Each structure stands twice: as C-alpha cells, then as structure tokens.
Amino acid sequence: MVRVAALDRAAANELSFFANPRYAAEFAATGAGITLVSPDLAEHPGPACRIVVAKPQEAMLLVLPALYPPPPRATGIHPSAVIGAGAKLGKDVAIGAHSIIGENAVLGDRVVIGPLCDVGRDVEIGEDSHLVSAVTLYPGTTLGMRVRLHAGVRAGSDGFGYVATRTGVQKIPHVGRCILEHDVEVGANSTIDRGSIADTVIGAGSKLDNLVMIAHNVRLGRMCLIAAQSGIAGSTRLGDGCMIGGQVGVTGHLELGNNVKLGAGSGVMDDIPDGQMWSGAPARPQREWLKATSAFYKLADRLREIERQLNEKKS
Amino acid sequence: MVRVAALDRAAANELSFFANPRYAAEFAATGAGITLVSPDLAEHPGPACRIVVAKPQEAMLLVLPALYPPPPRATGIHPSAVIGAGAKLGKDVAIGAHSIIGENAVLGDRVVIGPLCDVGRDVEIGEDSHLVSAVTLYPGTTLGMRVRLHAGVRAGSDGFGYVATRTGVQKIPHVGRCILEHDVEVGANSTIDRGSIADTVIGAGSKLDNLVMIAHNVRLGRMCLIAAQSGIAGSTRLGDGCMIGGQVGVTGHLELGNNVKLGAGSGVMDDIPDGQMWSGAPARPQREWLKATSAFYKLADRLREIERQLNEKKS
Amino acid sequence: MVRVAALDRAAANELSFFANPRYAAEFAATGAGITLVSPDLAEHPGPACRIVVAKPQEAMLLVLPALYPPPPRATGIHPSAVIGAGAKLGKDVAIGAHSIIGENAVLGDRVVIGPLCDVGRDVEIGEDSHLVSAVTLYPGTTLGMRVRLHAGVRAGSDGFGYVATRTGVQKIPHVGRCILEHDVEVGANSTIDRGSIADTVIGAGSKLDNLVMIAHNVRLGRMCLIAAQSGIAGSTRLGDGCMIGGQVGVTGHLELGNNVKLGAGSGVMDDIPDGQMWSGAPARPQREWLKATSAFYKLADRLREIERQLNEKKS
C-alpha cells in the first residue's frame, strides 16, 4: 500500500475504508488493494481483501503518518520578512516570505509563521504554534502552544461596538485581549474579535471551522467544536465540550453550559443548561423542535381539515 | 486607576462597570477599585466604592482615552512598499510593509495603509482613512474621509452576475463603482462588490461588522449598522439609520425604508416601510412573527388536542 | 455613447437599460442618451430614444467590451515575487508584487497571479487562469484552465475533521486533493477545503459567490451557481446545473441531483432528486414549503378561532 484513496478511485496499491452503508455500491466495485470495514458492514458484497475493524476511520489515522510523511518543516527566516524592534524569537522559529513581526512580539520555540502574515506588536505566540498563511494577529493577541491558524484568520480585531450619543454613533474603544489557549485550531477566513473591556477567550483544545465569527468578550470553554459559518455574538459564554453545527447563530450575553449541542442552522436566543441538544430558529430543545417541525409541514392540510369538520358540524 | 477590567478580573487599581443585572454575582465579588453602576442597580450588594451614573458604558468611553493613549501613529513609507506610477500621496501618508499602491491612485492627507494591502489603480481614499491590514481595494474603488477597513476586507470585487445564453453561462462585466462614504467602518473579512452598471454605495457613517456581504448595486443609506455574517443581495436599497442583526439575509431588488430594524437571522423577501422592525424567515413585522413563533412551538400539542376533541364529538 | 450608466444617473452621452417595471419612475426621468427597453415595457412613458430588444441585459453585454476595453493585461514577474525551486512557468505568465510560488508548482501559459498570493508547492494552474489578489492555494491544489479566483479565496485548506479518541480530539490528516475544473470562478473570501481521503471537486464552469464555504470531499457538478454565504458540508455531492441561493446550508453526506434549485436561506437535510426546487429550513419541495409558510403566519389566529369554536360547542 502506497496511499489511501476513496473507494471509487482506489487502485490495487491503495488502502480504502468502508464505514457507511451509503457507499455500499462503491465498496462492491472498488479496486482498492485492502479495505478497512466496520463490523456491521462486514458481510457486504465486495473485495475479499478486507480488514474488519471497530472504527475504520480511527484505524486509518494510525496508518496515515506512515504513508504520508509530513513535508519537511519550514526553517529559517526569509530575507523578505520584516522583524520589528524588540521582537523575541525562540529556537528554530521559521518565518515565511513577506511576513511581518511587530515590535516586542514574543514567539516561542519552533513557532512557524507562514508567508504573508501580519503579527502585530506585543503579540505572544506559544511553542510549536503555526500560522499557515496570510494570517493577521492584531496587537497584543495571545496564542497558547500548538495553536494552528489557517489562511486568512483574523484575530484580535475590534469588536462591533458603538453607542448612540447625542452627536451620533460613537465607537467603543476595544482594550480587552484576544486569547487563544493551547491546541486551538481555527479554519480559513474565520474572525475572532478582541474584548471590549473583558477578554475574548477560546478555550484549550477548541476547534473552529472556516468562516466562523467570534465576537467581542465571548468565552468558549475547552474542547468546543464549531462548524463553518457559525457566529457567537458578544459576551456569550459557552462551557466545555460544546458541539455547534454549521451556520448556527447565538445571540449575545447568553450562557450555554457544558456539552451543549446545537443543530446546524440554529438561532439561539436563550440560555441552555449542561448537556442539552437544541435546534431551530428560535432554538428549542431538540425533541420540542422535532415535534414542531414535523407538525409544521402538515400544518396547512391539518388546519384545513379541522376547519372543514367544524364547518360541517355547523351546517 | 491604571486600567479598566471586567468585574470578574478587576483589581484594586482597576476601574470596572456594572450595567446589567445578569452580572450581579460578579459585582458582589469584584475586586475593582472603583465601579461605575447604573442607577437601577445602585442598591445591589457589592463594593462600597461605586459611582452611580446614568450610562456606565458611555461614561467609560470618556475615561478610556486617558487610560489607553493610542499607539503612536504609523508614519513613513516602508521600503518594501510598491508605489505605482502616477500615484498621488497626500501629506503624512503612511504605507506599511509589503503593501502595493496602484497606478494613479490618490491618497488624501494622513491616510494610513497597513501592511500587506493591495490598493488598486485609480483608487481614491479620503483624508484620515485607515486600511488596517491585508485589505484589497479593486481598481477604482472610492473611499471617503475617516473610513476604516479592518483586516481582510475586499471592496470593489466583481458582482455575482451571469446571464444564461445559448452557449452557456456568460459573465456580466462589472463597470459600476464601489463607493464607501465618509466615516464608514467595515469589519474583518467582509466583502463589498462593485456595481454592475449602477454603483454600490455604503452611506456615510454606516458600520459593518465582520464577514458581511454587500452585493453589486446595493445602496445603503447613512448611519446603518449591519451585524456579522449578514448579506444584502443585489440592487437592494436601504434608507438611513437601519439596524440589521447578525446572519440576516435580504434578497435582491428590494426597498427598505429609513430606520428599519431586522432581528438576527431574518430572511427578508419584501419591501419594508420606514421605521418598522421585522424578524423571521421569511421575515414579517415583529409582532406577527412573535405571535407565529410562539404558536409554532405549541403547534403539535394544540393540533392533537383539537383533533381529539373533534373525534370525540364525532363518536 | 461613451459609457453605460443606471437610469437614475445616466447622461446624454450614456447608454442605459430598462428591464424591470420597478424602475419605471427612473425610466420616466432618465437623462440617458439611449435606453435599451424590454418589449413588455416598450410603452412606458419615458425618453423617446429607446431601443426595444428582447433581453436588454444580454444586449448590453455585447456593447460593454466596445465601451470598456479591458485594462492592459499584467505582464512580467515582479522583482519582489519569490519563486520556489523547480517551479515551472508557462509562456507570458505574470506574477504580481509580493507573491510566492511554491516549489515544483506548474503554471500554464498566460496565467496571471496578482499581488500578495501564496501558491503552495506542487500546485498546478491551467492556462489563462487568474488569481486576482491575496489568494492562498494550499500545497497540491489543482486548477483547470480559465479559472478565476477573487481576492482572499483560500483553496485546499484542511477540512474540519476530528475523531474523538480516548485521549481527546484527534485531527484527521487531510491527504485528498482540491480540484477546481476549467472555467470555475470563486468570489472574494470564499473557502474550499481539500478532501480528507477522497477529493474535493468543483465541476467545470461552476461559479461561487463571495464568502461561500465548500467542505472536504464535496463534489460539485458542472455549471453550478452558488450565491453568497452558502455552505456545503462534507462529502455531499451535487449534480450539474444546480442553482443555490444565498445563505443556504446543505448538511453532509447528501446527494443532490442535476438542476436542483434551492431558495435563499434553505437548510437542506435530505437527498433531492433531479430538477426539483426546495426551500425552507429544514428544506422541503417548494410547493410544500410555500403552503406551510403561508399557513405559519396565519397560525396563531386560526388556532385561536378553532379553539373558540370548539369551546362554544362545548358550552
């Protein structure tokens, strides 16, 4: 085996996996040399050379590093990079072409800054963190260790805060911090604002997908997952282990507990206790939403039938 | 007092504020040296050293400049910047590292272009405007005075316009302008397309949050506020003073009046008269939406109960 | 005629068009030298100098190239560009200031790379493609011919894939490809992830608007149109000729047929057969959605009336 490949394009020297019955046809016709198959699908017709394993995807993870050695780590500081006065670079820091490190920024050992990044003054970046490409860190942004920011991430920007005064709309200065703790990963073109007075904090181990928006003063707990295009409005707090689907919106000044789950597309306007799953817009507990949604699409017919019966009785 | 801080992390030499009863516990336990408190919360238990003031947040605004002097303004033109032929730079213009000023661009006095910006040919930027970092202005984009564009803003890009012809989809050339009037602020990674034939115009004093999308030919009035991840589709016009919540969508070719308010997550498919607040998807006047939404979640139970009663009567 | 302009600002030497009765007042008052008018509006009061033509917008397309000759094509390789070892550049390739071409990248003839782009190692770009500005292509991304990527597009980034293991959340390495076929156009700040094991593929001739998100392993057919801020979740497949409105979300692992249409703001959670139009969240066939939505806003009143009648009968 020299590579992994999806069932429908795998060749005899490639490894594939089959963990979802939706792909039964692809499995039956696959040219893969070896296929990892989950136990419940073990009897499906398909190639003989299969390895039945509890979690094929997880098993594949163990194999990938052997088949795909990571590219050699970037090293050195590109001559086009601009390093500000007083910046402190740890051991084996790499800085890509046309990147800028602001005054008094502190980069830990083995930090990799890709090309075209703007690291503002007074930024702190923990060991082994990686800014992939074209990332902007506003002044004073603080990253823990092993943080990974994908292309186009903007962290530490001013929050959207204005007060209406007698003379018009006045901007609220943003003097809080923007803190991403250890092992946070943020997807392409996502934005995380700094705090106004309090801090914006993304808890350790949390993962954000692409085009996610985190507003000023939001506090995310540890190990939260937020799917693409979701947004958390100002000053809302999430506990640990929350799982947020795609295109979710959570309004400001709410408290979501630990291990809260939100269905894709939800619009949350209320506090949510620990461990609950909510969906819908406005969002409600999952069972309540399922019941209402299911009724919704039968609504017109049921109402008409009821009104017909009532009229019948009248006449 | 040397700094401001949120109630839950303020120390004896820090100033804080308490304006929302949700934070009563934090107020009771705060270590803040002084707390600004709104009149309705003046009697809450907490530290003795409090200043009761009508609008604590607005009051804080007056104090912030004293505690947080702005960083010294960027000056000079970085040697790595590329300035096109015929570009005109006003007095005290600053241009950051690796930025590009296109041919015949005109920058007013005291304009600050941050690092990694691409200012296209024939762009005009009014006095005291500021492109923070990694901003793209397509050729011919026009900014008024005191405009502030955050990292990753793209203005003047082609609109999404195609016509189906006999030979396939054909791109509509975009030859209209993209105009941001005085005092506009645009959040990180937002996009504003140029007009197709007419212009796209963001009215004076309007503020857009992060990841907002303004399509071709849209005309926004003065002093509109648009929260994060909202989008206005092509050729729609908004009046002055509109307030648009987060993740709102407004379809194309609509007219929204002055001072229209849209709840977060709304999907607008109709014209809206002056001064109205609408919500929901499809959006309706706020009262109508509240009534329908409230009924929605009781729907399944009420229908079942009605049908039970009808059946009872039958039998 | 020296230019085209919208009805409300066109002058005597400008050409305009009138194809939507919504703009009747502007037509009546226009100063345009000549106006193209669609047959159904031919009798509207307005300037005498009008040309009645079946599709005014399409007719305008034929005129635009004569009035607006494209700017001279960029040429040459800017001295600040960084070209990696082994990169192959075709004839007449242009590379803008501060752009980076990775090792072993292959650029076809007449490719134009704008300023501030990061083209990763092993990327392949077909003839006549154009990266406008500040685009990131992750290593190995593959573009066909005549592809156009607007400012801030990120293609080939890691998908959002993690598996929960006993020791915590573990990142799934992404080793699939990111392929954009011929004639694809992608709007500003959109993101397209690479595949995890399979590939992510955007079919020939498809057009994506701004701030669109395409997740790992998605396969889009040929000639699909996706409006702004829409997202397609992982492993979903779309057929040819699909038309997706703005702010649509499609969940993962679905199959949408050919020529599927989705209304703006839809949230799709089911497979959809060829040729159907769906709307709503959760989405349903258009007629079903229209019926339910229309009933929704009359819901509260109709339920109250029914319950009143039932109570009346009881008493």
**Nearest-by-CA chain C residue for B217:** C6
Place of tokens 């890009």: B157
Distances (CA, A) of C269 to B183, B291, C261: 42, 27, 14
* Token couple for C24: 């009747």
Average pLDDT over residues B281-304: 88
Which of the four pLDDT bands, split at 50, 70 and 90, describes residue B136?
very high
Strands B34-37 and B14-18: parallel
**Per-residue pLDDT reduced to its tens digit, B67-122:** 888 777 888 999 999 999 999 999 999 999 999 999 999 999 999 999 999 999 99
Distances (CA, A) of B8 to A172, A199, B42, C261, C266: 20, 11, 18, 50, 41
For residues C273 and C207, membership in a common domain is answered with yes
Instruction: Please identify, among B19, B38, B67, the residue that sits at the C-terminal boundary of a domain.
Output: B67
For residues C128 and C234, membership in a common domain is answered with yes
For residues B62 and B206, membership in a common domain is answered with no
Over 80: is that where the pLDDT of A154 sits? yes
* Token couple for A193: 């604002």
Q: What is the pLDDT of residue B172?
A: 84
Q: What is the pLDDT of residue A245?
A: 98
Mutate to test the interface with C, among B163, B166, B167, B191 (most CBs of C within 10 A): B191
**Nearest-by-CA chain A residue for C282:** A293
Torsion angle of C-alpha atoms A219, A222, A227, A228, degrees rounded to 10: 50
Share of chain B above pLDDT 70, in %: 98
Q: What is the pLDDT of residue A294?
A: 85
CB contact at 8 A, A1 and A14: yes
**Nearest-by-CA chain A residue for B299:** A292
Higher confidence at residue B140 or residue C309? B140
Chain A nearest-CA distance from B206, in A, is 9
Over 80: is that where the pLDDT of B165 sits? no
Q: Do C292 and A313 touch (CB under 8 A)?
A: no
For residues A158 and A267, membership in a common domain is answered with yes
Q: What is the pLDDT of residue C2?
A: 81
Q: Is residue A88 part of a domain?
A: yes
Q: Is residue B275 part of a domain?
A: yes
Mutate to test the interface with A, among B8, B18, B133 (most CBs of A within 10 A): B133
Residue B309 CB contacts under 8 Å (≥ 6 apart), including other chains: C310
Which of the four pLDDT bands, split at 50, 70 and 90, describes residue B315?
low
Chain B nearest-CA distance from C47, in A, is 19
Q: Is residue B298 part of a domain?
A: no
For residues B181 and B269, membership in a common domain is answered with yes
Q: Is residue B315 part of a domain?
A: no
Q: What is the pLDDT of residue B22?
A: 87
Q: Is the dihedral of CA A53, A57, A58, A63 positive or negative?
A: positive
Q: What is the pLDDT of residue B70?
A: 78
**Per-residue pLDDT reduced to its tens digit, A73-123:** 888 999 999 999 999 999 999 999 999 999 999 999 999 999 999 999 999
Q: What is the pLDDT of residue C315?
A: 63
For residues C27 and C147, membership in a common domain is answered with no
Chain A nearest-CA distance from C109, in A, is 25
For residues A51 and A159, membership in a common domain is answered with no
Q: Is residue A90 part of a domain?
A: yes
Average pLDDT over residues A27-35: 93
Which of the four pLDDT bands, split at 50, 70 and 90, describes residue A315?
low
pTM: 0.93
- The mean-pLDDT minimum among A50-64, B245-259, C218-232 falls in A50-64
Catalytic residue among B130, B150, B174, B216: B216
> Which residue of A65, A152, A225 is in closest CB contact with C136?
A152
CB contact at 8 A, C117 and C135: yes
For residues C249 and C120, membership in a common domain is answered with yes
**Per-residue pLDDT reduced to its tens digit, A222-246:** 999 999 999 999 999 999 999 999 9
Distances (CA, A) of C196 to A67, A148, C156, C204: 14, 18, 11, 21
Q: Does A8 touch chain B (CB under 8 A)?
A: no
Residue B68 CB contacts under 8 Å (≥ 6 apart), including other chains: A173, A175, B3
Can you tell me the distance from the alpha carbon of A195 to that of B180, in angstroms, rounded to the nearest whole number?
A: 27
**Per-residue pLDDT reduced to its tens digit, A248-297:** 999 999 999 999 999 999 999 999 999 999 999 999 999 999 988 888 88
For residues A201 and A177, membership in a common domain is answered with yes
Domain count, chain A: 2
Is A185 in a helix, a strand, or coil? strand
For residues A53 and A96, membership in a common domain is answered with no
Which of 155-184 (A) contact C at CB < 8 A? none
Assess whether C78 carries a catalytic annotation. no
Distances (CA, A) of B64 to A177, A210, C183, C224: 15, 34, 52, 51
Interface pTM, i.e. ipTM: 0.92
What range does the domain containing C42 cover?
3-67
If phi > 0 it is left, if psi is from -120 to 50 it is alpha, else beta; for residue C257 that is: beta
Can you tell me the distance from the alpha carbon of B53 to that of B15, in angstroms, rounded to the nearest whole number?
A: 14
First to last CA, chain A: 78
Q: Is residue B100 part of a domain?
A: yes
Q: Is residue A307 part of a domain?
A: no
Chain C nearest-CA distance from A1, in A, is 14
Q: What is the pLDDT of residue B65?
A: 79
**Nearest-by-CA chain B residue for C209:** B160
Over 80: is that where the pLDDT of B167 sits? no
Average pLDDT over residues A37-55: 92
For residues B59 and B100, membership in a common domain is answered with no
CATH number, position B44:
3.40.1390.10
CB contact at 8 A, A221 and A258: yes
Q: Does C61 touch chain B (CB under 8 A)?
A: yes
Q: Which residues of chain C have pLDDT under 50?
A: none
Distances (CA, A) of A162 to A249, B59, B157: 21, 13, 28
Can you tell me the distance from the alpha carbon of B53 to that of B60, in angstroms, rounded to the nearest whole number?
A: 10
Per-residue burial over A126-154, b if 16 or more Cβ lie within 10 Å, else e, is bbbbbbbbbbbbbbbbbbbbbbbbbbbbb
Q: Does A26 touch chain C (CB under 8 A)?
A: no
Can you tell me the distance from the alpha carbon of A14 to that of A4, in angstroms, rounded to the nearest whole number?
A: 5
For residues C16 and C146, membership in a common domain is answered with no
Residue C306 CB contacts under 8 Å (≥ 6 apart), including other chains: A303, A306, A307, A310, B306
Higher confidence at residue C214 or residue A9? C214
**Per-residue pLDDT reduced to its tens digit, A198-225:** 899 999 999 999 999 999 999 999 999 9
**Cβ neighbours of A199 in B, within 8 Å:** 6, 9
CATH number, position B141:
2.160.10.10
Q: What is the pLDDT of residue B208?
A: 98
Chains with ≥3 Cβ pairs under 8 A against A?
A: B, C
Q: Which of A1-15, B48-62, B236-250 has the highest mean pLDDT?
A: B236-250
Q: Is residue B302 part of a domain?
A: no
